[in-house]
């Protein structure tokens, strides 16, 4: 390119106008004197084997406006800061040619992509129930060792390690020594199991399910059910060496979070019985361990004490609920196994309901619960200007009573009621009159107009009537 400055003798750095020569070069550009293009660039990479990514960063001086990169493997770029990946080992010359308005310049840099070291792959895998570390495709340099660690999950065990398809047994780790070829390693895991073993004595006395031995996965629950045959009873159960004694038929137990073996022994007896008992407040007859013959019936009489009733009858652990009575007869029919019966009793309290009409009160008022056999007193009081008209006890009238009137229920054995009615006193009459006595005489005679009001006056109870009187001699009140 032929660029011409208007004054070629200028030597100071700066920007000056360009004149076009006959070839039309430089046109309207204004280059800088003293800014010759100087090509330079930086190269960065991780230095590893292929594939190797190389980042080239242009640092050219001189206002370049075009870049031509050659990466030495046939690839090029016109970016200012290109990236390039080498896929094959070798030495490559990276060349940058940079251009500005008045020329170009080039520079190259040699990139070495190293040959990867000779190595091998060990493929490591594991079953569910544990892990192997490291896992997947593991690169190992030729001649080096590689150790794999086996970790077992809860409720599992490592039952084998397979190396190149051959069983090596159970190990917490495995090391390949002086690796010179590819290998495979696989860890086998299996769930832990426990065994529950049970037995029946005699074998014909009953059934235990599920059948023995029972295999249980680690951490699982297992239900064991014992059912006595007809005319047999469960006389004792021993679990892991601990006796549990007689049990109601059928009997079941659950082993939870099983992590070890267990044993159950069950004894059956053809000597049947019914265990009968009673709580406080009554009796059951017969009581205790009552022998019974298979196929027969057996009755029990339950009697509550005074001031008690039967609150519950529990048969083989199942509540029958309150009977609301003081006596009961319960019969077991066609007995083929042991039973348990228990009677519970409740101490009685009786309600006494007390009410009062207008004009007075009764205390205590309302419903009062009184323990059986005890007493409860009441006081009935009339208000001023009232009297007790009647007292009713359990529907029977006691008639009019003087206030205050006490009443006591003694040895309470049932519910009662008491009520009081009141009657207002009055109205009352006041009769007023005046008598005049003459002086010196003991005789009197009535005089009107002396007292006011005069005659018969009706007044309400509690009122205060006023009267005025006048002296007939002075006419003064």
CATH of the domain at 56: 2.60.40.10
List phi, psi (to 5°) of 119.
-150, 180
From residue 332, give the alpha-carbon distance in Å to each of 302, 327, 337, 424: 14, 17, 11, 66
DSSP secondary structure of 225-239: EEEEPTT-EEEEEEE
Residues 40 and 85 in one domain: yes
Residues 201 and 265 in one domain: yes
The predicted pLDDT at position 27 comes to 39
Residues 319 and 282 in one domain: yes
The predicted pLDDT at position 168 comes to 93
Give domain status of residue 138, yes or no: yes
Give domain status of residue 203, yes or no: yes
Examine the fold and report which residue of 312, 347, 382 is the final residue of a domain before the chain moves on: 347
* Whole-angstrom distance, CA of residue 82 vs CA of residue 167: 53
The predicted pLDDT at position 45 comes to 87
Residues 80 and 129 in one domain: no
pTM of the complete model: 0.48
The predicted pLDDT at position 321 comes to 86
Residues 335 and 386 in one domain: no
Residues 277 and 343 in one domain: yes
Q: Which helix or strand (DSSP H or E) is residue 355 part of?
A: strand 349-356
The predicted pLDDT at position 469 comes to 81
From residue 364, give the alpha-carbon distance in Å to each of 77, 350, 358, 419: 110, 15, 16, 11
Tokens of 156: 């599992």
Give domain status of residue 474, yes or no: no
Residues 93 and 138 in one domain: no
Domain that holds residue 410: 350-424
The predicted pLDDT at position 189 comes to 95
Burial profile 32-43: b = 16 or more Cβ within 10 angstroms, e = fewer? eeeeebebebee
Residues 39 and 108 in one domain: yes
Residues 124 and 93 in one domain: no
DSSP secondary structure of 246-313: -BPSSEEEEE-S--S-EEEEEEEES--EEEEEE-TTEEEES-EEEE--TT--EEEEEEEPTTEEEEEE
Tokens of 264: 């159950």
Examine the fold and report which residue of 227, 248, 269 is the final residue of a domain before the chain moves on: 269
Give domain status of residue 476, yes or no: no
Give domain status of residue 395, yes or no: yes
Give domain status of residue 475, yes or no: no
Residue with tokens 């100071």: 12
Residues 289 and 226 in one domain: no
Query: CATH number, domain at 173?
Result: 2.60.40
- CA 127, 128, 129, 135 dihedral sign is positive
Examine the fold and report which residue of 327, 347, 367 is the final residue of a domain before the chain moves on: 347
Beta carbons within 8 Å of 279's beta carbon, 6+ residues apart: 342, 343, 344, 345
How many domains would you assign to the chain?
7
Give domain status of residue 154, yes or no: yes
Give domain status of residue 477, yes or no: no
Largest CA distance in the chain: 183
The predicted pLDDT at position 34 comes to 44
* Whole-angstrom distance, CA of residue 472 vs CA of residue 452: 13
**pLDDT per residue of the chain (477 residues) written in tens, 0 to 9:** 434 444 444 444 455 444 443 333 333 344 444 478 999 999 998 777 788 899 999 999 999 999 999 999 999 999 999 999 998 889 999 999 999 988 999 999 999 988 766 789 999 999 999 999 999 999 999 899 999 999 999 999 998 999 999 999 999 999 999 999 999 999 999 999 999 999 999 999 999 999 999 999 999 999 999 999 999 999 999 999 999 999 989 999 999 999 999 999 999 998 899 999 999 999 999 999 999 999 999 999 999 999 999 999 999 999 998 888 999 999 999 999 899 999 999 999 999 999 999 999 999 999 999 999 999 999 999 999 999 999 999 999 999 999 999 999 999 999 999 999 999 998 888 988 877 666 666 666 677 767 888 889 888 888 888 888 876 666 555
């Amino acid at each position: 390119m032929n660029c011409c400055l208007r004054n070629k003798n200028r030597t100071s750095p700066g920007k000056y106008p360009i004149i076009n020569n006959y070839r039309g070069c430089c046109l309207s550009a204004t280059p800088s004197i003293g800014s010759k293009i100087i090509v330079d660039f930086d190269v960065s990479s991780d230095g590893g084997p292929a594939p190797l990514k190389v980042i080239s960063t242009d640092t050219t001086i001189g206002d370049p406006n075009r870049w031509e990169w050659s990466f030495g493997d046939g690839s090029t770029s016109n970016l200012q800061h290109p990236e390039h990946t080498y896929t094959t080992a070798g030495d490559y010359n990276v060349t940058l040619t940079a251009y500005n308005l008045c020329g170009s310049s080039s520079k190259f840099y040699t990139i070495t992509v190293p040959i990867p070291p000779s190595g091998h792959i060990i493929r490591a895998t594991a079953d569910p129930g544990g892990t192997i570390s490291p896992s997947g495709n593991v690169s190992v340099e030729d001649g080096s060792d590689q150790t794999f660690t086996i970790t077992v999950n809860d409720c599992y065990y490592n039952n084998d390690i397979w190396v190149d398809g051959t069983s090596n047994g159970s190990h917490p780790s495995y090391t390949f020594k002086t690796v010179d070829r590819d290998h495979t390693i696989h860890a086998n895991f299996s769930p832990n199991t426990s065994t529950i073993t049970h037995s029946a004595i005699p074998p014909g006395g009953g059934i235990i399910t599920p059948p023995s031995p029972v295999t249980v996965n680690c951490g699982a629950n297992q239900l064991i059910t014992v059912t006595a045959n007809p005319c047999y009873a469960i006389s004792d159960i021993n679990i892991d060496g601990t006796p549990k004694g007689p049990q109601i038929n059928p009997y079941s137990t659950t082993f939870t979070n099983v992590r070890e073996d267990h044993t159950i022994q069950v004894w059956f007896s053809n000597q049947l019985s019914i265990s009968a008992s009673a709580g406080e407040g009554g009796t059951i007859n017969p009581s205790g361990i009552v022998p019974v013959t298979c196929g027969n019936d057996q009755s029990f009489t339950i009697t509550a004490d005074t001031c008690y009733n039967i609150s519950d009858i529990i048969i083989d652990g199942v509540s029958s609920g309150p009977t609301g009575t003081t006596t009961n007869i319960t019969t077991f029919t066609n007995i083929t196994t042991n039973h348990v019966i228990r009677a519970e009793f409740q101490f009685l309290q009786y309600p006494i309901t007390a009410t009062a009409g207008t004009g007075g009160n009764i205390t205590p008022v309302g419903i009062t619960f009184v323990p059986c056999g005890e007493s409860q007193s009441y006081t009935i009081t009339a208000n001023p200007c009232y009297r007790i008209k009647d007292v009713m006890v359990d529907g029977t009238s006691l008639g009019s009573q003087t206030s205050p009137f006490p009443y006591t229920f003694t040895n309470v054995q049932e519910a009662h009621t008491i009520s009081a009615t009141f009657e207002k006193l009055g109205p009352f009459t006041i009769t007023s009159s005046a008598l005049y006595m003459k002086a010196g005489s003991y005789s009197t005679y009535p005089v009107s107009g002396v007292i006011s009001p005069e005659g018969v006056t009706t007044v309400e109870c509690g009122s205060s009537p006023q009267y005025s009187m006048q002296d007939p001699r002075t006419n003064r009140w």
